Amino acid sequence: MLDAIINYRYVWDTLDIVLVAFVIYYVLRIIEGTRAVQILLGLVLLVVLYYFSQRGLFTLNWILGQFLGSIILIVVILFQHDIRRGLAAIGRRPFLLKLSPGKSKQLYAEEVVKAASYLANRHIGALIAIERNNSLSDFIEIGMRIDALVSRELIISIFNPASPLHDGGIIIVGNRIVSAGSFFPLVTDPDLERDLGTRHRAAIGLSAETDAMVIAVSEETGSISLASGGEITRGLDATALNNMLQELLGIKKPDQSKQVAITNKEES
């Protein structure tokens, strides 16, 4: 009976379609919000133009045929950063074995909050960008590649004034610090408050161009600010910063009633 089911062609066809659909979905998730989407659309248009040119546009058809004949090499060259990032993501977190992503986000968010609070208390300037859907690969390439797990100790050491990487900002992708010393675009809005320094303008500029969250710690005042969507919220303490990060990262807050019950049980 089992052999008869296995030999049915539709079983393998169904499995084949599901796997291909899953791979396409995963690839689209990786390049979502990046410039690779525009490049992919350009390639699709060229393929459509190639088939259209077969009706009589012989010269154009020959040119596009020569170009598309090396399509695999072209794709590797154009999408090398996205391919590398995708393979690294699979290696770090296989999609079939991805467990408790919310817990992972909460852990690294807490590390970022603790580091920002420490730096603010000592009036040490900092700029921390957290990637969401839009890729920050262009800004990652500008800085020094690190690729290390997020930890408050590492963040604090990077922004230590004696560190050669303290200028610029760090970029966090997933639960890893991937770059330090990166420079972000400065916002040029004349209506902004004049007391906003370079770090704050860079935080607003990056959050306006992408959907990244950017934390800025003022060296002069020791205040913490968070920029998102081109808007900046200033004067945050550790609790307010943590709440905003959890909300923007989509981290579900624990049920307060359950927490109280657990606390009372532990006390008893």
Domain ranges of the chain: 2-97, 101-249
161-196: per-residue pLDDT in tens? Answer: 988 888 889 999 888 899 999 999 888 776 777 778
* Res. 217: pLDDT tops 70: yes
Task: Phi first, then psi: give them for residue 122, nearest 5 degrees.
Answer: -110, 15
- pLDDT value for 98: 45
* Res. 263: pLDDT tops 50: no
Q: Which amino acid is at 125?
A: G
- pLDDT value for 20: 87
* Res. 99: pLDDT tops 50: no
Distance of alpha carbon 120 from alpha carbon 131, whole angstroms: 22
- pLDDT value for 180: 92
Distance of alpha carbon 152 from alpha carbon 57, whole angstroms: 61
Higher pLDDT, residue 4 or 71? 71
The answer to whether the beta carbons of residues 204 and 210 sit under 8 Å apart is no
Distance of alpha carbon 173 from alpha carbon 33, whole angstroms: 14
Q: Predicted confidence band at 227 (pLDDT cuts at 50, 70, 90)?
A: very high
Q: Is the pTM of this model over 0.85?
A: no
Helix residue ranges, H only, the chain: 2-7, 9-31, 35-53, 58-68, 71-78, 80-92, 101-121, 137-142, 152-158, 198-209, 238-249, 256-267
Q: What is the separation of C-alpha 32 from the centre of its chain, rounded to a whole number of angstroms?
A: 10
Mean pLDDT of 2-28: 74
Q: Predicted confidence band at 253 (pLDDT cuts at 50, 70, 90)?
A: low
* Res. 5: pLDDT tops 60: no
Write out the two tokens for 174.
């997933």
- pLDDT value for 136: 84
Q: Predicted confidence band at 109 (pLDDT cuts at 50, 70, 90)?
A: confident
- pLDDT value for 259: 42
* Res. 120: pLDDT tops 90: yes
Please, what is the average pLDDT of the chain? Answer: 79
For 8-27, b/e burial (b = at least 16 CB within 10 A) is eeeeeeeeeeeeeeeeeeeb
- pLDDT value for 224: 94
* Res. 155: pLDDT tops 90: yes
Q: Predicted confidence band at 8 (pLDDT cuts at 50, 70, 90)?
A: low
Minimal CA–CA distance to 242: which of 110, 115, 124, 144? 110
The answer to whether the beta carbons of residues 129 and 214 sit under 8 Å apart is yes
Distance of alpha carbon 96 from alpha carbon 98, whole angstroms: 6
- For domain 101-249, the CATH class is alpha beta
Distance of alpha carbon 190 from alpha carbon 246, whole angstroms: 31
- pLDDT value for 7: 60
- pLDDT value for 66: 81
- What is the per-residue DSSP string for 109-120? HHHHHHHHHHHH
Minimal CA–CA distance to 151: which of 128, 180, 176? 176
